[in-house]
């Protein structure tokens, strides 16, 4: 059996679902394929900033997501032990950008996006793991699923299949993920356990030159749950090694608690009893800058983490995935069969420039959240983290500028 479509999307994460909604809005039919047996109950929280929220608003799902999350305008940076306020970083601003940021559980975002697809009659085909490309011509691209069935798309096959993308392996077989030698662990604990002192503002990053930092944010609008994060430098363990590390929940909790005695009592309370089912470990891997995000014939295109995995420390990972999907759909809508190949090259160049800028922010943010390296000068510079150019964006104008080059 061959499943035929105009545009096929591999992956039903944020990238794939957002692209499907964008294409539907543009009147372009598509099908979505997902390897998992059903909707994934993914954990952790996302911070959705004005650039991402603008897209979700355009797609008609912003209010649903806002109702499930918590709005914030800034993150404080405080130095221990005295809790001196040393910087604030803007996460959103309704007056300047139209939106504050929204911190929301990832599973809530997925629920809203999937609900929107169902309401629009778009089906996600589950248990469809992409195996390999069979052929690509100017007329179509065909591929094989692990279950032995095949797929065929006349316009595009889009790889939104995450950081371990099989489609990226097809386009760039020699490219391997690069580990940044930084990882983070998060957990979600009851706010009643943390018992924040009156006047304590969240989100906050509590910085120590010798111990690194703890980040505390509310995980829900009712302020009943708090997400606590800590990151550190670490040698690469390899895929199997990281799997073993994640499985050792006692060791992960021990890492979260290590050095907590040097921070305020409410941090110590936060990590004193950690629900292990909320633990998430993130080795910060990045995809080396790819020569192209599309195949030679432009029938296959990568986006999201398949094209560029961003460290979560920037708060822009999900937002840049949304940007990929929305701008790619916009480019398709503004292209003809004759101009699409050239327009995809221009789209990649424009998107890569924004991703490169986000990676620079990641380095600065990581420097704030890691212990200072002995013998090296301090890298913290108050006021050096600005997202103005990220948040203040008009996507229609941005895409038009790219395509006019």
**DSSP alpha helices (H): ranges in 13-131?**
14-25, 50-58, 62-66, 94-97, 106-119
Contact 47, 101 (CB under 8 A): yes
Contact 290, 317 (CB under 8 A): no
Mean pLDDT of the residues in the chain: 92
pLDDT category at 311 given cuts 50, 70, 90 is confident
Q: Tell me the whole-structure pTM to 2 decimals.
A: 0.93
In angstroms, what CA-CA distances link 264 with 82, 100, 202, 208, 367? 9, 28, 14, 11, 21
What are 34-71's pLDDT values in tens digits?
Answer: 999 988 777 788 999 999 999 999 999 999 999 999 99
**Does residue 375 register a pLDDT over 70?**
no
Please tell me the predicted confidence (pLDDT) of residue 290.
95
Helices (H) and strands (E) in the chain, counts: 14, 17
Question: Average pLDDT for residues 177-193, to the nearest whole number?
Answer: 92
Range 2-178+286-373+383-403 has CATH code 3.50.50.60: yes
> What is the residue extent of each domain of the chain?
2-178+286-373+383-403
Please tell me the predicted confidence (pLDDT) of residue 379.
65
Contact 390, 357 (CB under 8 A): yes
For the ranges 109-123, 137-151, 224-238, 304-318, which has the lowest average pLDDT? 304-318
Question: Average pLDDT for residues 168-187, to the nearest whole number?
Answer: 92
Please tell me the predicted confidence (pLDDT) of residue 43.
74
**Does residue 1 register a pLDDT over 70?**
no
């Amino acid at each position: 059996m061959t499943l035929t479509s105009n545009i096929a999307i591999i992956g039903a994460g944020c990238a794939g679902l957002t692209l499907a909604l964008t294409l539907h809005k543009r009147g372009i039919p598509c099908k979505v394929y997902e390897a998992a047996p059903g909707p994934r109950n993914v954990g952790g929280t996302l911070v959705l900033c004005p650039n991402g929220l603008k897209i979700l608003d355009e797609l008609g799902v912003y209010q649903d997501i806002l109702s499930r999350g918590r709005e914030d305008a800034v993150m404080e940076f405080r130095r221990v032990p005295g809790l001196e306020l040393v910087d604030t970083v803007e996460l959103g601003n309704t007056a300047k950008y139209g939106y504050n940021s929204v911190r929301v559980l990832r599973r809530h975002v997925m629920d809203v996006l999937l609900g929107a697809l169902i309401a629009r009659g778009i089906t996600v085909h589950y248990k469809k793991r992409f195996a390999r490309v069979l052929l690509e011509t100017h007329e179509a691209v065909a591929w094989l699923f692990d279950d032995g069935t095949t797929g065929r798309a006349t316009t595009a096959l889009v790889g939104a299949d995450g950081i371990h993308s099989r489609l990226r392996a097809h386009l760039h077989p020699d490219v391997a993920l690069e580990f940044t030698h930084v990882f983070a662990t998060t957990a979600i604990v009851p706010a009643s356990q943390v018992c924040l002192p009156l006047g304590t503002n969240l989100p906050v990053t509590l910085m120590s030159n010798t111990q690194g930092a703890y980040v505390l944010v509310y995980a829900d609008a009712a302020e009943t749950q708090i997400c606590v994060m800590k990151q550190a430098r670490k040698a690469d363990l390899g895929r199997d090694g990281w799997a073993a590390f994640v499985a050792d929940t006692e060791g992960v909790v021990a890492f979260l608690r290590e050095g907590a005695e040097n921070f305020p009592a409410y941090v110590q309370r936060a990590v004193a009893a950690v629900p292990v089912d909320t633990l998430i470990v993130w080795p910060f891997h990045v995809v080396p800058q790819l020569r192209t995000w599309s195949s030679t014939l432009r029938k296959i295109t990568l986006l999201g983490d398949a094209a560029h995995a961003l460290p979560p420390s920037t708060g822009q990972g999900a937002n840049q995935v949304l940007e990929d999907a929305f701008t790619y759909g916009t480019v398709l809508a503004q292209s003809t069969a004759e101009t699409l190949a050239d327009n995809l090259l221009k789209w990649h160049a424009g998107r890569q420039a924004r991703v490169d800028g986000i990676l620079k922010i990641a380095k600065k943010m990581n420097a704030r959240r890691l212990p200072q390296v002995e013998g090296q000068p301090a890298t913290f510079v108050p006021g050096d983290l600005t997202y103005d150019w990220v948040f203040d964006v008009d996507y229609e104008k941005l895409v038009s500028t790219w395509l006019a080059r």
